[in-house]
Structure 1
């Protein structure tokens, strides 16, 4: 008599309401730190006091719609992203793309300090787009994966293609964009306090 094998589906117990609520604070703190936003700046944008934001992130204040709606608007994310249940059954890190203007930014690390890495998808820039050179804290390293990248750096103009790398101090006035008719993919390392990537080269012959 042939043996009968019965398959059994593994069921994952969904999180309780209390677990979902408890996860909101850490999720808000992580989102704010990934975007380098201070509590004071967030308070000014949302009208929520610094003390309330701090208590909300630490779990000492219960999240309500009156608090979460202005935060969702400030971060430009769906409300579900702030209160959604954490993913289960998969230990891998899930990093969601973020939109900044027309660009898609995919964080590749979850660290909040030191050098961080991103992948950027930069759409073609309109001919009349704002190309004002700007400065900010930090140091940036860009590697073009596909397409072409244009970098205006001080009084210099760079046209970079796949496999080309550029690094620069972001205190130097700069503009980064895409003046072609296809999407450009770029790998970016960014040190908010001016940290630089450590590049090792092969020793010269005879060394």
Structure 2
């Protein structure tokens, strides 16, 4: 699977688009309504749903939050590589339980880069365990220094950000738990 620096998901956009459309329609949302809530263009959403455009990581998260679903609900269940100019992420595991979905990612933040994440769906919790490198996590109004061995958990239903120091790549395991989805 290949992934471009533009942040496109390496799997075909048609799969993600079909899933977005199905979930949007099951929620009774129009294309215009979801685009407005997600803060993306209606044309962008239309092209994504029709498979003419591969979604970026930012677009997937922007859509997942308003739909109330985890990222995994919008993409194929197989291993997934996503990224953008600041971060590469490989999904390692997905666990579906009766009352939640847990996603586990290996995350690499490029030196000096910051990855700003939009708010996830209501009630989502996130945990980060740093394996190597240094940086900062901005979450819940606090700035948390990141270094090997640091573990931090926070409410991810509000915007948050990861930054790597200029000295090197920040590598961490990111665990995202979305309630009410199984």
Taking structure 1 as the reference length, the TM-score comes to: 0.48
Match of 2:55 among 75, 79, 94: 75
Partner deviation per Cα, 1:98-125 (whole Å, 9 max, x = no partner) = 2233311101125676011101110023
Choose the corresponding residue for 1:120, options 101, 104, 107.
Answer: 107
TM-score norm. by structure 2 comes to: 0.54
Higher RCO structure, 1 or 2 (CA under 8 Å, sep 6+): 2
Partner residue in 2 for 1:158: 144
Q: Which has the higher strand share?
A: 2
Aligned residues: 131
Contact 1:98/1:104 (<8 A) preserved: yes
Give the CA deviation at 1:130. Answer: 8.4
Unaligned runs of 5+ in 1: 1-23, 54-66, 77-92, 196-207
C-alpha displacement of 1:152: 1.7
1:1-207 equivalent positions in 2, closer than 5 A: 28-29=14-15, 31=16, 37-39=20-22, 40=24, 45-47=44-46, 68=51, 70=52, 73-75=53-55, 95-110=79-94, 114-125=101-112, 135-137=119-121, 138-193=124-179
For the pair shown, which has the larger CA radius of gyration, 1 or 2? Answer: 1
Deviation at 1:37, TM superposition (A): 4.2
Change over 3 Å in CA distance of 1:159–1:44 after alignment to 2: same
